[in-house]
């Protein structure tokens, strides 16, 4: 195996789905600027997600439109006839 292939700065990070406030904690080495106090009282880095398995239409069976950047409106205005 190659040495120094994987990052060595793994730590516990909270990922939060902003569409339904679902959050989970796991190990990651992603850089974050925000933090959150978790249920155990400790403070962890926070990563905000637009969609997760609790809000994705494939897993929920419900069609839910999540458009945070206005891409759908831009598409509709471009191809409007």
Residue 72 lies in a domain: yes
Question: Distance (Å, rounded) from C-alpha 24 to C-alpha 16?
Answer: 7
Reduced to 3 states (helix: H, G, I; strand: E, B; else coil), residue 34 is: strand
**What residue numbers bound the domain in which 18 lies?**
11-78
H/E element holding 76?
helix 71-78
What is the domain count for the chain? Answer: 1
Name the DSSP class of 57. Answer: H
Residue 26 lies in a domain: yes
Token pair, residue 17, equals 């789905």
| pTM exceeds 0.85 for this model | no
Residue 3 lies in a domain: no
pLDDT tens, N- to C-terminus, the chain (81 residues): 688 888 888 899 999 988 788 899 999 999 899 999 999 999 999 999 877 767 766 555 666 555 556 677 777 787 876
78, 46 contact by CB (below 8 A): no
φ/ψ region of 27 (left if φ > 0, alpha if ψ in -120 to 50, else beta) reads: beta
């Amino acid at each position: 195996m190659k040495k120094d292939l994987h990052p060595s700065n793994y730590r516990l990070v909270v990922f939060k789905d902003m569409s339904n406030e679902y959050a989970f904690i796991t190990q990651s080495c992603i850089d974050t600027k925000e933090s959150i106090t978790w249920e155990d009282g400790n403070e962890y880095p926070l990563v905000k997600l637009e969609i997760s398995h609790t809000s994705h239409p494939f897993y929920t069976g419900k069609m839910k439109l999540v458009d945070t950047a206005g891409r759908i409106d831009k598409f509709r205005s471009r191809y409007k006839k």
